[in-house]
Chains A and B, each alone.
Chain A
Amino acid sequence: MEDQRLDLSPLAVRGDALERLAEAILKRAAPELRRRAAAAALAGALGAWRRPVLVAAAVVAVAAGTVLALSERPAAVVAVGITSMTEALRVPEPAVTWLEEGRSPTSSDLLWATEGSLP
């Protein structure tokens, strides 16, 4: 007796009321469902393009790599006409002599060098 099911049917929602309730829910849900459908369609379109775009990118990468590998390397820059460090550094000629002789310039050397450099 105690464990017998209770008749709670007066609390049950009637079929037509349930139908109206379901319709009301679906009506309220319609905007959200439309938003989701649009988002899913966009995601689907992007997903459909993803593969071809990846393939195209891979082809471009391979082609660019091939071109780079096959192209000639630029010639090394070679200094022409420069035979010594002093020339490369553009050290004045009198000073080169002093450097080679390992001495300090005298006043006459300086005068000569100055005059010699004057126009």
Chain B
Amino acid sequence: MPQPPRRRAGRSGPVPTFRRGAVSCLTDAMTQSDAELVDRARSGDPLAFGVLVQRHLRAARAVALAVTMDEADAEDVSQDAFITALERLEQCRQPAAFRGWLLTIVRNLARNRVRDEGRRRTVPLEDTAPVAAKEGAGRRLEQAELRDRLLEALGELPEVQRQVVLLHDLEGWKHREIGASLGMAEGTCRAHLSHARRTLRARLAAYVDEED
């Protein structure tokens, strides 16, 4: 059965609606709370929605990556999650807790994708593109290899631990924030993180030993 083409973030032109407006408007929006931005986005304010995207995209991608274990899938899921969130913005009963609500959408969409399509290991487009300059190519390969190994090691962890370790060690979230977003106690979050780190260190050390 042919798979539908995957949407990718392309350079198909700027989004004028996001760039429109004075700098002061953007600065004003950047300082607004999620609740205020959600309220404005409900009225179709592209600037407010743009700020919400900028503010939470990294976390959305991290959670999507933790579930799908595939960078391309994580990007697709992140896109879909923001669009779904926009379409269902009236269902966000606590606009101040928009981030947690969004991440729930991300998790659900990511799980659906994993369930429907199965895990796929695809190489992001930028890695398949010909490298114009030789300088730095070695480093890119090294980075790609490291990324693959990290993903492989993360794959050994339960989904919840992957989310915790990515949000904490990659995105720099606090335990309190992770706990609130994932619906768990701070202590549970700490325990998950500790376990995840221990497993990852052991797994990555094994790689080093294999190379030696």
CA distance A97 to B86 in the complex (A): 93
CA distance A35 to B170 in the complex (A): 36
Q: Within the complex, which residue of B8, B18, B79, B86 is in contact with A32, where a contact is CB–CB below 8 Å?
A: B86
What are the residues of chain B within 8 A of A32 when measuring CB–CB?
A: 44, 83, 86-87
Given known A-B contacts A3-B197, A33-B46, A38-B44, A17 and B126 have beta carbons under 8 A apart: yes
Given known A-B contacts A27-B12, A33-B44, A37-B45, A21 and B79 have beta carbons under 8 A apart: yes
| B61 pairs with A21, CB closer than 8 A | yes
| B166 pairs with A11, CB closer than 8 A | yes
| B17 pairs with A22, CB closer than 8 A | no
**B interface residues, tally (CB under 8 Å):** 49
**Quick one: closest B residue to A13, CB to CB?**
B61
Q: Is B151 close to A, CB under 8 A?
A: yes
CA distance A38 to B197 in the complex (A): 50
Q: Within the complex, which residue of B14, B150, B165 is in contact with A23, where a contact is CB–CB below 8 Å?
A: B14
| A26 pairs with B169, CB closer than 8 A | no
| A25 pairs with B165, CB closer than 8 A | no
**Quick one: closest A residue to B171, CB to CB?**
A12
What are the residues of chain B within 8 A of A21 when measuring CB–CB?
A: 9, 57, 61, 75, 78-79
- Interface residue SS majority, chain B: helix
| B79 pairs with A6, CB closer than 8 A | no
**Quick one: closest B residue to A20, CB to CB?**
B9
CA distance A21 to B201 in the complex (A): 31
What are the residues of chain A within 8 A of B147 when measuring CB–CB?
A: 10-11
Interface bits B28-47 vs A (CB < 8 Å: 1, else 0): 00000000000001111110
Q: Is B200 close to A, CB under 8 A?
A: yes
What are the residues of chain A within 8 A of B151 when measuring CB–CB?
A: 11
What are the residues of chain A within 8 A of B10 when measuring CB–CB?
A: 20, 24
| B169 pairs with A8, CB closer than 8 A | yes
| A30 pairs with B53, CB closer than 8 A | no
Q: For chain A residues 1-48, which have a beta carbon within 8 Å of chain B?
A: 2-13, 17-18, 20-30, 32-40
Q: Within the complex, which residue of A12, A18, A26, A38 is in contact with B50, where a contact is CB–CB below 8 Å?
A: A26
Taking the nearest CB of chain A, how far is it from the CB of B40, in angstroms? Answer: 10
Taking the nearest CB of chain B, how far is it from the CB of A43, in angstroms? Answer: 9
CA distance A29 to B12 in the complex (A): 14
Which A residues fall within an 8 A CB radius of B? 2-13, 17-18, 20-30, 32-40
